[in-house]
Structure 1
């Protein structure tokens, strides 16, 4: 039997605070979602001024990154490179850049999804959050 790390509430709060700080530093209104390794929502934070739809997109990006154990942008790139059949993949709805898995010791322990600004900026915010817990 293997042992696997899990996110606790302190980790989630640290990730959220760092992601929020990165967004505010750049004046980017976004929604930040944090999920566990099964894609279950642990945190949702919608900053002032962000479009309401981002509250649906951010968790979808996070869930896609967690279940796929890879950045959600890789699905977007696959589709953009012509493999449009990937659009029919079950459960994966957030196949846009901005979902980043949280990896520890080669295992996915969750993911952060961000929506509201350019996709590369969404991913930058997610990575800043993850960096707060040393990963």
Structure 2
């Protein structure tokens, strides 16, 4: 009886050790894509007049009935620097800098800010906040403005929920073709 108990205990210990060793094996490397993602070239920066048109479309989307989204709207050039800013009446003050940061992030990283938000939802995404100073804004509502296959700037919206910010910003980005 004692020998069979020891044999069962030894077998359980062996299974546990093997399972832990197997769990610690590194995952196979992910396939490396041949093309660089978000490799969109920069073009000439958006003008203030053109940026005003983008903002007008954002405001129209934000105020569609029954919406009453109060947004801070920023348009940045290809370097992520502010070209045009508009704050709707009664927009919360904290949204001013956030909209500018969303536009800066979308222009400098050549991708929507939603991508950073999605990445930060994973365990590996925690590193994003350490990329640069200021760190990228990882919230929906920042989109590159692409005309003729080249980035001419970016638009950032803040003041509503992230998803609402993104919908309004998309209306502005859609005016640029």
State the TM-score, normalizing by the size of structure 1: 0.90
User: Are 1:112 and 2:151 an aligned pair?
Assistant: no
The CA deviation string for residues 58-88 of structure 1, in whole angstroms up to 9 with x for no partner, is 0001100000100001011111112201111
Kindly indicate which of the two structures has a greater share of residues assigned to strand.
1
Correspondent of 2:128 among 82, 86, 103: 86
Q: Which residue of 1 aligns with 2:108?
A: 67
Runs of 4+ in 1 over 6 A off after TM superposition: none
Between the two proteins, the alignment pairs up a number of residues equal to 133
**How large is the RMSD of aligned CA atoms in angstroms?**
1.7
Paired with 1:4 and 1:30, the residues of 2 have a C-alpha distance of: 27
TM-score between the two structures when normalised by the length of structure 2 = 0.70
2:85 corresponds to: 44
* Uncovered stretches (5+) of structure 2, i.e. residues with no partner: 1-40
Q: CA deviation at 1:17?
A: 0.8
> Which of 1 and 2 has higher RCO (CA within 8 Å, sep 6+)?
1
Q: Secondary structure at the match of 1:112?
A: strand
* Cα pair 1:5 1:104 within 8 Å, conserved: no
Higher alpha-carbon Rg: 2
Distance 1:104 1:128 in 2: 15
Q: Report if the CA contact (8 A) 2:80-2:104 is conserved.
A: yes
The answer to whether the 8 Å contact 2:75/2:84 transfers is: yes
Structure 1: give runs of 5+ residues left out of the alignment.
Answer: none
